[in-house]
């Protein structure tokens, strides 16, 4: 008789798919200490590094997405897909999962397709307000679809949808008690407003250029800036770390303290970032990347801005940044209004809610 359950999890390509997958695994591990976990990702993507760091085994598939323009990668896509379906089938046959969970990204496609073909219950978690191709396709066979936004019945069968929110770091739930600690950690002046600039772990070229072009403007506004410029750009911008009012970082290891210290946040609008910022509850200027699948970052930011919970500034409008920023900085009422509204959109119990749905499927 089978003693423990086997849980197969697939998702990756970006942190927005990987960290929710790890959060779900961690919560399941608390409830099922004897469970066996196996992750499946895309070879050469960041999940092959991040998942083992979190203590889980991962296998890689030879898979990538379809580019918008004709490339060698596109021509090889059918071969990659066939190879990945074959290898996903082999992994499933050997691991014998009781459930398969997909958090988006290219690798989750072959894994969940083969799992559902073998009669294994599948659950997908969609982080964005506008789903990617993979999850739209997988939704036909999935038994449950956990979402973070309203109105996704346009894309998914309504009877399968459960609004849970996106998993976020638990250390963000107590940031309001860490303001002093955050200011001390970053050696900030207590009397000055702090601006936190986030472009994702790899960095955002347009946001970095915006900050560089406005260094004197920030000095004139008498604000201090924590600038997370990303792995790809640290060599270009670390020289500005010598300025009194600017701190340049490749990566922020203590995001909770960075959020706690911030008065205003400038950020991309990836799904995980948006969910975190709802919990953080600070005034946000979203500058979404227009270069992502289905332009989902703009759609994420728009859905928050339409509820008067953040400011949306498109890359094509960055010349208006000084006016937008100065107006917000000087309007305390507007800051409070944005804070309250974005905080009301938070779903802090997302991981628990998703794992509750996984448990229901396991019990069936």
Q: How many Cα atoms sit within 13 Å of 309 on the Cβ side? A: 21
CB within 8 Å of 342: residues ≥ 6 apart: 277, 278, 281, 282, 283, 284, 304, 309, 310
Distances (CA, A) of 11 to 2, 23, 43, 124: 27, 12, 12, 10
Nearest-angstrom CA–CA distance, 43 and 107: 9
Farthest CA pair distance, the chain: 71
User: Residue 269: which of 300, 247, 232 has the closest Cα?
Assistant: 300
**Is 297 marked as a binding-site residue?**
yes
How many CB atoms are located within 10 Å of the residue 337 CB?
14
**Is 139 marked as a binding-site residue?**
no
Q: Which two tokens stand for residue 330?
A: 């000087």
CB within 8 Å of 184: residues ≥ 6 apart: none
**Is 169 marked as a binding-site residue?**
yes
**Is 16 marked as a binding-site residue?**
yes
Contact 20, 125 (CB under 8 A): yes
**Is 128 marked as a binding-site residue?**
yes
Contact 245, 218 (CB under 8 A): yes
Grouping H, G, I as helix, E, B as strand and the rest as coil, residue 71 is coil
Nearest-angstrom CA–CA distance, 324 and 305: 14
Contact 19, 167 (CB under 8 A): yes
Nearest-angstrom CA–CA distance, 214 and 264: 16
Q: Which own/partner contact pairs does 43-49 have at CB distance under 8 Å and 24+ positions apart?
A: 45/12, 45/13, 45/105, 45/107, 46/12, 46/13, 46/14, 46/15, 46/18, 47/11, 47/12, 47/13, 47/17, 47/18, 47/21, 47/105, 47/107
Q: Binding site for UDP-N-acetyl-alpha-D-glucosamine, residues? A: 14-16, 128, 169, 201, 297
Q: Binding site, residues? A: 14-16, 128, 169, 201, 297
């Amino acid at each position: 008789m089978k003693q423990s359950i086997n849980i197969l999890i697939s998702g990756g390509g970006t942190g927005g798919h990987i960290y929710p997958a790890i959060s779900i695994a961690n919560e399941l591990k608390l409830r099922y200490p004897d469970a066996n976990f196996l992750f499946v990702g895309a070879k050469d993507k960041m999940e092959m590094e991040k998942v083992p760091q979190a203590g889980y085994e991962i296998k890689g598939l030879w898979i990538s997405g379809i580019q918008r323009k004709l490339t060698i990668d596109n021509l090889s896509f059918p071969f990659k897909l066939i190879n990945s379906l074959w290898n996903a089938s082999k992994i499933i046959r050997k691991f014998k999962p009781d459930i398969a969970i997909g958090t988006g990204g290219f690798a989750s496609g072959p894994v969940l397709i083969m799992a559902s073909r073998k009669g294994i219950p599948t659950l997908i978690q969609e982080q964005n307000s506008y789903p990617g191709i993979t999850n739209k396709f997988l939704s036909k066979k999935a038994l449950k679809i956990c979402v973070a936004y309203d109105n996704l019945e346009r894309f998914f069968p309504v009877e399968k949808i459960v609004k849970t929110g996106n998993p976020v770091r638990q250390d963000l739930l107590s940031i309001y008690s860490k303001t002093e600690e955050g200011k001390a950690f970053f050696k900030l002046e207590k009397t000055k407003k702090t601006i936190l600039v986030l472009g994702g772990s790899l960095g955002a070229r347009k946001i970095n250029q915006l900050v560089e072009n406005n260094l004197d403007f920030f000095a004139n506004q008498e604000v201090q800036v924590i600038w997370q410029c990303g792995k790809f750009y640290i060599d270009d911008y670390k020289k500005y770390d010598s300025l009194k009012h600017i701190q340049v970082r490749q990566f922020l290891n203590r995001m909770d303290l960075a959020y706690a210290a911030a008065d205003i946040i400038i950020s991309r609008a990836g799904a995980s970032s948006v969910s975190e910022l709802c919990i953080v509850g600070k005034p946000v200027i979203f500058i979404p990347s227009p270069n992502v699948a289905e332009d989902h970052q703009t759609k994420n930011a728009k859905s928050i801005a339409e509820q008067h919970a953040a400011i949306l500034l498109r890359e094509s409008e960055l010349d208006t940044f000084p006016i937008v920023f100065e107006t917000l900085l000087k309007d305390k009422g507007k800051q409070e209004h944005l804070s309250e509204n974005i905080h009301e959109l938070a779903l802090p119990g997302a991981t628990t809610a998703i794992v509750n749905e996984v448990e229901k499927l396991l019990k069936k």
